[in-house]
Amino acid sequence: MPSGAPGWQTGPMTTQRADAPKRTEDPVLAGYRQSIDNIDAALVFMLAERFKITQKVGEYKAQAELPPADPGREERQVARLRALAQSADLDPEFSEKFLRFIIDEVIHHHERIRDEV
């Protein structure tokens, strides 16, 4: 955050460029941002559901003595997601990195669950 930098001003709740129009003054931008806010909320809810079910998978794997990671499954997911991304006009590289980031976190959770059992 470049607060204090030349061309920026800080208030009690905000930091914005001194020459930037205020959000409330631009209904077009506010309309776009309302949609972004809804999408971000949906992402949070979807991630919460995903982590709830992967928690169950982690518990099951720990009691069944299965390894936390399944590279074969991950490879198939990456291939599937890359194809879906392409057909949705989303950068496949980005979608792979995004999925990798989530899967790596899930694997950490599974390792922690295994080490607790």
Ligand X SMILES: C=C(O[C@@H]1C=C(C(=O)O)C=C[C@H]1O)C(=O)O
Residues that bind ligand X (CB under 6 A): 54, 57, 69-70, 73-74, 77, 103, 106-107, 110
For ligand X, which is the closer residue by CB, 16 or 111? Answer: 111
Q: How far is the CB of 44 from ligand X (least distance, A)?
A: 17
For ligand X, which is the closer residue by CB, 22 or 56? Answer: 56
Q: How far is the CB of 41 from ligand X (least distance, A)?
A: 22
Q: How far is CA 88 from the centre of its chain?
A: 18
Closest-CA residue to 55 (of 108, 99, 12): 108
| Upper half-sphere CA count for residue 12 (Cβ side, 13 Å) | 0
Q: Which residues of 28-40 are buried (b: 16+ CB within 10 A; e: fewer)?
A: eeeeeeeeeeeee
Q: How far is the CB of 55 from ligand X (least distance, A)?
A: 10
Q: What six digits make up the tokens of 24? A: 């409330």
For ligand X, which is the closer residue by CB, 89 or 115? Answer: 115
For ligand X, which is the closer residue by CB, 17 or 73? Answer: 73
Q: How far apart, in Å, do the first and last CA atoms of the chain sit?
A: 42
Q: Please give the residue whose beta carbon sits closest to ligand X in the complex.
A: 106
Q: How far is the CB of 79 from ligand X (least distance, A)?
A: 13
